[in-house]
Amino acid sequence: MDRQPRRGWMRLLPWLRLYRCSNCNRMRLLSKQKVDSARLLNAAQVRARGG
C-alpha cells in the first residue's frame, strides 16, 4: 500500500487516508491504524515462512 496525497473533500474524513494497493492498483480510503497493523502482520508472516 502506497499512501497518496489527500484531495480537498478528504478533509471531511480526517481519520482516513488514501492508499493505492500495490497488487491491484485500486485506491482505498483506510485508517492509518489498520494499514499499520496489516503491514506488521504481513511482515510477521513473511518472517515465519523464512523469507
Span 7-43, pLDDT tens digits: 899 889 999 999 998 889 999 999 999 999 999 999 9
Q: Are 9 and 20 in contact (CB under 8 A)?
A: no
3-state secondary structure (DSSP) of residue 32: helix
Residue 46, burial from CB neighbour count under 10 angstroms (0-12, 13-18, 19+): exposed
24 vs 1: CA distance, rounded Å: 10
Cell of 42: 504481513
Give the model's pLDDT for residue 2.
82
Look at residue 51 in the predicted model and tell me its pLDDT.
65
pTM > 0.75: yes or no: no
